[in-house]
Chains A and B, each alone.
Chain A
Amino acid sequence: MKSAVIVFPASNCDRDAAVALEQMTGKKPHMIWHQDTELPEVDLVVLPGGFSYGDYLRCGAMASQSAVMRAVKAHADKGGAVLGICNGFQVLTETHLLPGALMRNADLKFVCRPVTMNVEETQNVFTRRYANGQVVTFPVAHGEGNYYADEETLNRLEGEGRVVFRYAAGQNPNGSSRNIAGILSEKRNVLGLMPHPERVVDPLLGGTDGRGMFESLIETLS
Chain B
Amino acid sequence: MKARVFVTLKNGVLDPQGKAIGHALNGLGFGAVGEVRQGKVIDLELSETNETKARAALKDMCEKLLANTVIEKYEIELKA
Contacts and interface: CB of A to CB of B under 8 A. Distances in A.
Interface residues of A, number: 19
B14 A106 contact: yes
A189 B11 CA distance: 33
B16 interface: yes
Given A104-B16, A107-B16, A148 B71 contact: yes
Interface in B16-73: 16-17, 20, 65-66, 68, 70-71
Contacts of B65: 57, 61, 65
Nearest to B40: A57
Interface stretch (A23-31, A40-48, A93-101, A130-138): A93-101
B70 A104 contact: no
Contact of B14 (A61, A150, A175): A175
Dominant secondary structure at the A interface: loop
Contact of A61 (B13, B17, B68): B68
A34 interface: no
Given A93-B70, A148-B70, A108 B20 contact: yes
A103 B71 contact: yes
Contacts of B13: 103, 148
A175 B65 CA distance: 25
Interface in A120-152: 148-150
A108 B68 contact: no
